[in-house]
A and B are shown apart, each in its own frame.
Chain A
Amino acid sequence: MGTRKFLTNRLLARKQMVVDIIHPARANISKDELREKLAKMYKVDKEVVFCFGFRTAFGGGKSTGFALIYDNLESAKKFEPKYRLVRHGLMEIKKASRKQRKERKNRSKKLRGTKKAKAAVAKK
């Protein structure tokens, strides 16, 4: 496993890099395992390592992706997009069920302008 294009991003309190993994026998390496390896390499906690965007090269054996290592968990919670936090279990996005969302959308199609906002407030 090698890292390329290493960059310390002080503005977002993190280090970002491109990760290349060679896995000759296996299909793919799970993100979890990768986080452990990176945490060991950079001597940080596993929970501040986020990796994403892994693509396996044609023919197999090699994958490339991105990894971010935050300085602390607070800055991670502040700067990371919500879906990645959900992946790690640090956050939960609560949504109404799909059916209910669609019903609400269809109800608001009958209204126009500020009445939509009023209806939304009334529902809550």
Chain B
Amino acid sequence: MSPSKTSATANAAAEELQRDQAAFHKHLQELSTMVKEIEAKLKPTIKKLETKEIDTSKGLSFLEVKYHILLEYITNLSFIMYRKLSGESIQDHPAIHSLIEERTILEKMKPVEQKLKYQIDKLVRAAVVGQQEGEAQMTAGGADPLAFKPNPKNLVLDNAGNEDNEEGENEDNEDGEAKTGLYRAPKMAPVHFEEDSSAVAKRLKYQARLQARAAKSRVMKDLVNEFDDRPEEMSLTNDGVHFGMGMDDKQREREQYEEENFTRTMLSKKELNRLRKGALPKFENEFENLNDFAQIAPLQDDLESSEQRRRNVLARRNERKQAAMARDSDDDDEDVGSRKRSRGGDDDGIFNGLMSDPKKRRAGGKKGPKTAFDRSKRNIARNRK
């Protein structure tokens, strides 16, 4: 090797050594500080143990074993490190055998510890809780933490704080329901959820549905074909053939899919039979759809009803005005709000001016036609209607 290379490697080695030394130094410092902390924390516990303030007879023997083995492991490990530092070999040293033994024991203890975890936690909690609140109270209340089965008494204790609130609420509810006397059925079965249940939204949805249905009708399609500038499209297959019940659209969709994706779809036996046997010649169905106005009729109805509603508002306002005028005038038989009643207007003919109808509402003021003059006036008004 060239001298420059050896020096380079030596330099690299020296740098690494320095880095290791720095890290080691830091670790040593950390170690010493941590040891001091632990010592400080453990000293009072050790004193208590020596003076027998804390009773260790009720501890878990399993955990004791764990501590002992851990201690042995650590001591053996430190011994081996000491031997290494002083340069002696550690091969086939009995300490290594014991290390291996202890390691295996610790690893076997781990799953057992996992299974005991629940019980250990309960015991610890019991110890802590017992110190804080005093044993007698807890065992009497039924929240004995050493008992592992569910305890209904625990539930009652929890609600002790909320009971007052709940009573208040119940009273309010009962009062409210007693006032209105309404029985509200319990909601058990699932029901379709409507986001907008307002009347406007419902009407809009209904209208949209009607429009969609009307767009599919034959009349609309013919109109569109007549007035549209687009060139007419003929499908290449099924030229003189027509399937009813929306099969035409399905067939068209299938054709489109096949040509776009360059595949052929597999048809079930039912579909195949329908295609082969259920095809009707196109011209026969021209007369079937002559009554297609049924599909667009609802649209017309809907339009009329919305206009009617608008007219109703104005009409009602006019009626009220007329009523006010009629109250002042003689003719109180210009009936107020009788627009509904006038539809079934045969009652007029029955009495024929002899008697005033007792069912009809009096608008106030004069009771009825008392003189013949009034009666004749009424007749004329009625006949004009």
Q: Give residues in A with beta carbon < 8 Å to B.
A: 4-5, 16, 18, 20, 53, 55, 57-59, 62, 64, 66
Question: Are B259 and A59 interface neighbours, CB within 8 A?
Answer: no
With the chains together, A4 CA to B258 CA distance in Å?
13
Question: Are A5 and B259 interface neighbours, CB within 8 A?
Answer: yes
Taking a contact as CB atoms closer than 8 A, the residue among A4, A16, A58, A66 that contacts B237 in the complex is A58
Closest to B240 in A: A59
Interface size on B, residues (CB 8 A): 15
With the chains together, A66 CA to B260 CA distance in Å?
11
- Does B69 make an interface contact (CB < 8 A)? no
Q: Give residues in B with beta carbon < 8 Å to A.
A: 236-241, 258-260, 262-264, 275-276, 279
Question: Are A18 and B259 interface neighbours, CB within 8 A?
Answer: yes
With the chains together, A15 CA to B236 CA distance in Å?
22
Contact flag A62-B237 (CB < 8 Å), given A53-B264, A55-B264: yes
**Dominant secondary structure of chain A at its interface with chain B:** strand
Contact flag A20-B275 (CB < 8 Å), given A53-B263, A55-B264: no
Question: Are B264 and A59 interface neighbours, CB within 8 A?
Answer: no
Question: What's the minimum C-beta distance from A31 to chain B, rounded to whole angstroms?
Answer: 14
Question: Are A57 and B264 interface neighbours, CB within 8 A?
Answer: no
Question: What's the minimum C-beta distance from A50 to chain B, rounded to whole angstroms?
Answer: 12
Question: Are A20 and B262 interface neighbours, CB within 8 A?
Answer: no
Question: Are A64 and B237 interface neighbours, CB within 8 A?
Answer: yes
Question: Are A57 and B239 interface neighbours, CB within 8 A?
Answer: yes
Chain A residues lying within 8 Å of B236, measured Cβ to Cβ, are 20, 57, 62, 64
Closest to B255 in A: A64
Question: Are A59 and B262 interface neighbours, CB within 8 A?
Answer: no
Question: Are B263 and A59 interface neighbours, CB within 8 A?
Answer: no
